[in-house]
């Protein structure tokens, strides 16, 4: 996988979704059937909620990142209180799990995984890619995060500390990637287009080849 592929990394060979239904997925289907049977929810209610989640894209996450790149005061608020900072940009996260925003620097690089299932900030990044949910990614990111990132085209210097963050049902993470060099005169709107889903997970960096725009 190379950084220039934008959001589309699902074709990557070693990190693949194994295709098996997880225990949590089976439990969710059973709970859905029970709630429908008891009349608590209708199939239409469930479909509407699913459609709302599926329709989300990484655009809101990119909006937060780009604003943080151009506004140091906003970045400080985003790191301290992500939900309040998101509300400033019209992004309502009040009904979602806790959100932590972590900043990548020239000394520390964060990468996110969910070792138990596929917890992920869907409200900011849209549905998780198949590779993120795979047992392969979940196991290997903990054991060899540099090797996984290398497969996405990201080779970090040995001096950079790599921190693996494990998402849970109660806590999700968004990586604030480093701003690409040479973008000092790029507008905030143009910066958004450089922010990829994968860079907000931490397996790659933002797209540098468009930094001259």
pLDDT recorded at residue 9: 41
9-13 mean pLDDT = 41
Best CA proximity match to 89, nearest among 57, 70, 61, 52: 61
pLDDT recorded at residue 149: 97
Q: What global pTM score does this model have? A: 0.75
CA distance 25 to 117: 9
Domain limits, the chain: 57-201
- Ranges 47-56, 137-146, 187-196: which has the least confidence: 47-56
CA distance 20 to 31: 19
User: What residues contact 189, with CB distance under 8 A and at least 6 apart?
Assistant: 66
CATH classification code of 57-201: 3.90.330.10
Pairing of strands 171-176, 161-166: unpaired
Write down the H helix ranges in 11-110: 23-37, 43-54, 59-70, 72-80, 82-88
CA distance 35 to 29: 10
102-114 mean pLDDT = 98
Per-residue tokens: 199: 């860079």
CA distance 4 to 209: 7
**Which amino acids are annotated catalytic?**
114, 117-119
- Ranges 16-30, 68-82, 176-190, 192-206: which has the least confidence: 16-30
pLDDT recorded at residue 86: 97
């Amino acid at each position: 996988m190379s950084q220039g592929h934008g959001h589309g990394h699902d074709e990557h060979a070693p990190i693949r979704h194994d295709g098996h239904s997880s225990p949590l997925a089976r439990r969710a289907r059973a709970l859905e059937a029970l709630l429908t049977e008891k009349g608590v929810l209708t199939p239409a209610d469930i479909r509407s909620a699913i459609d709302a989640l599926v329709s989300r894209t990484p655009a809101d996450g990119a909006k937060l990142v780009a604003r943080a790149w151009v506004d140091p005061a906003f970045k400080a608020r985003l790191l301290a209180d992500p939900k309040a900072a998101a509300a400033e940009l019209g992004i309502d996260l009040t009904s979602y799990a806790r959100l932590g925003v972590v900043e990548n620097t020239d000394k520390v690089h964060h990468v996110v995984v969910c070792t138990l299932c596929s917890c992920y900030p869907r409200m900011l990044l849209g549905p998780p890619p198949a590779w993120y949910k795979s047992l392969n990614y979940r196991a290997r990111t903990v054991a060899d995060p540099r090797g996984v990132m290398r497969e996405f085209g990201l080779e970090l210097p040995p001096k950079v500390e790599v921190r693996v963050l494990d998402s849970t049902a109660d806590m999700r993470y968004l990586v604030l990637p480093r701003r690409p060099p040479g973008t000092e005169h790029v507008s905030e709107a143009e910066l958004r287009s450089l922010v990829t889903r994968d860079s907000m997970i931490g397996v790659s960096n933002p797209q540098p080849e468009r930094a001259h725009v």
